[in-house]
Structure 1
Amino acid sequence: MKQVNVTQRQPILTALIMTMLGLSAPSLANTIEVSERTNITLSGKVVGAVIADSDVSGMGVNNLPNGLFGKNNDPSVAIDTTLTRLNLGSHTQFAPDETLKSLISFDFNSSNNGKMDLRMREAYVDWQIGNRSLLVGQTWSTLMDLNRFPDTVLEPTLSGVVFTRQPMVRWSQQFGSFRYDIALESGSNRVVTEDHQVDLDTSSHTPDFIFGLQTDNEHYWLRAAGVVNRITVKDQQQSTTYSDTGWALHLSGGIKFNPKDHLQLAYFNSRGNDRYVLGVSQTGPLFTPGTGDFHLRESESLWAAVGHSWTDTLKSTFSYGIWQAEALEWQADTFTQTQFALANIKWLARKNLTFGLEYNYTHYQRSRSDQRDNHRLILAVDYAF
Structure 2
Amino acid sequence: MKKMFLQMARIRDLAIIICFLTANLMHAQEDEGNKSMEIYGFIMTDIGYNFNQIQPDWYDAVRPTKLPSYENEYGPDGSYYASVRQTRFGIKNYFDTGIGELKTQFEFELYGTGVDAGQTTFRLRHAYAELGKFGAGQTWSPFMDIDVFPNTLEYWGPTGMVFFRNIQIRYMPIQGDTRLTIALERPGASADQGIYENRIELQGVKGRFPLPDLSAEYHHGFDWGYLELAGIVRKIEWKDQNNDQFDLSGDAVGWGLNLSTNVKLGQSTVFKGQVVYGEGIQNYMNDAPVDIGIENNPGNPVTPVKGVALPLVGVVAFLDHSWSEKFTSSIGYSMIDIDNSDGQTPDAFKKGQYVIGNILYSPAKNCLVGAEFQWGDRENFSDGWSTSISKVQFSFKYNFSQAFYRKN
Give the TM interval when normalised to the shorter protein: 0.7 to 0.9
What's 2:387 paired with? 372
1:270-295 Cα deviation digits (max 9, x unpaired): 1111111112133x202469524121
**In the aligned structure 1, how far is the partner of 2:178 from the partner of 2:328?**
30
Q: Which runs of 5+ in 2 are unaligned?
A: 1-14, 297-302, 401-408
Q: Which residue of 1 aligns with 2:217?
A: 212
CA distance in 1, matches of 2:189, 2:30: 43
Return the letter of the residue paired with 1:80: S
**CA spacing shift, 1:55–1:113, aligned 2, 3 Å:** farther
Residue number among 71, 74, 99 corresponding to 1:71 in the alignment: 74
* Whole-Å separation in 1 of the counterparts to 2:53 and 2:16: 46
Counterpart contact for 1:150–1:156, Cα < 8 Å? no
Alpha-carbon separation, structure 1, partners of 2:182 and 2:21? 37
Q: Kindly state the Cα deviation for residue 176 of structure 1 after the two structures are TM-superposed.
A: 6.8
Task: Say whether residues 1:301 and 2:314 are aligned partners.
Answer: yes
Q: Where does residue 137 of structure 1 map in the other structure?
A: 137
Q: 1:319-340 CA distances to partner (integer Å, 9 max, x unpaired)?
A: 1011112333343121111111
Q: Distance in 2 between the 1:123 and 1:66 partners?
A: 28
**Residues 1-385 of structure 1 mapped to structure 2, 5 A cutoff:** 17=19, 33=29, 35-37=31-33, 38-57=35-54, 58=56, 59-69=58-68, 70-94=73-97, 98-111=100-113, 113-128=117-132, 133-155=133-155, 157-174=157-174, 177-194=177-194, 195-196=197-198, 197=200, 198-199=202-203, 200-238=205-243, 241-282=249-290, 284-287=291-294, 291-333=304-346, 334-367=348-381, 368=383, 370-385=385-400
Task: Note the C-alpha offset of 1:51.
Answer: 2.0
Structure 1: give runs of 5+ residues left out of the alignment.
1-12
- Contact 1:89-1:101 at 8 Å conserved across structures: yes
Structure 2 Cα separation of the partners of residues 155 and 218 of structure 1: 30
Choose 48-57 or 222-231, whichever is displaced more.
48-57
C-alpha contact (below 8 Å) 2:377/2:389 kept by paired residues: yes
Percent identity over the alignment is: 20
Q: CA RMSD in A?
A: 2.6
Cα distance in 1 between the residues matched to 2:30 and 2:289: 43
Scaled by the length of structure 2, the TM-score of the pair is: 0.81
Taking a change above 3 Å as real, the CA distance of residues 307 and 15 of structure 1, as seen in their structure-2 partners, is closer
Distance 1:246 1:256, change over 3 A: same
Following TM superposition, by how much is the alpha carbon of 1:114 offset from its aligned partner in structure 2, in angstroms? Answer: 4.3
User: Residues 72-102 of structure 1, C-alpha deviation per residue, up to 9 Å, x if partnerless?
Assistant: 342111101111111122221226x821011
Q: Could you tell me how far apart the structure 2 residues matched to 1:358 and 1:324 are?
A: 25
Assess if the C-alpha contact under 8 Å between 1:47 and 1:383 holds in 2. yes
